[in-house]
């Protein structure tokens, strides 16, 4: 099975200049915990619900002036739509992440995939193995 078969698409993205209040509202409205950040049509980074807490609430400055660019993780890890689910699980474990943006062969953002997608659509065992790698102290 391929990532394309289990990923969420179409997906919601935000621009680098999106205010953090709008990011939080998007996450709340759609029941999601991560938003890919795009700039000039390309993946620029990712903002997670944890980024909002760690980089906005506990950070310096006024939250009302912060944007996605201020709090995103730049150069986010990603996978390809044509990767196997086993490759996806290995990437998640290697990079200790639970969600990944999905790119096509032209580096266009086409979806998002999560550890939950692996468990729901493929194998709880494979998802569990990936989770073990994700939470491992390194």
pLDDT tens string 48-80: 998 888 888 766 666 777 889 988 888 889 999
| 9 has pLDDT over 80 | yes
pTM as predicted: 0.85
pLDDT at residue 44, as a whole number = 93
Rounded to whole angstroms, the Cα distance separating 116 from 109 reads 20
Average pLDDT score over residue span 77-101: 94
> Residues 75-91: what's their mean pLDDT?
93
Mean pLDDT calculated for residue range 76-99? 94
């Amino acid at each position: 099975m391929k990532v394309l078969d289990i990923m969420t698409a179409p997906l919601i993205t935000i621009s680098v200049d999106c205010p953090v209040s709008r990011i939080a509202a998007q996450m709340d409205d759609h029941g999601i915990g991560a938003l890919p950040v795009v700039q000039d049509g390309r993946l620029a980074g990712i903002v997670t619900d944890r980024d909002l807490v760690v980089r906005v609430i506990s950070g310096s400055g006024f939250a009302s002036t912060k944007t996605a660019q201020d709090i995103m993780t730049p150069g986010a890890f990603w996978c390809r739509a044509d990767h196997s689910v086993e490759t996806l699980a290995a990437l998640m474990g290697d990079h200790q992440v639970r969600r990944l943006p999905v790119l096509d062969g032209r580096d266009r953002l086409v979806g998002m995939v999560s550890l939950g997608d692996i468990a729901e659509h493929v194998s709880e065992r494979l998802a569990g193995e990936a989770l073990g790698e994700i939470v491992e102290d390194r």
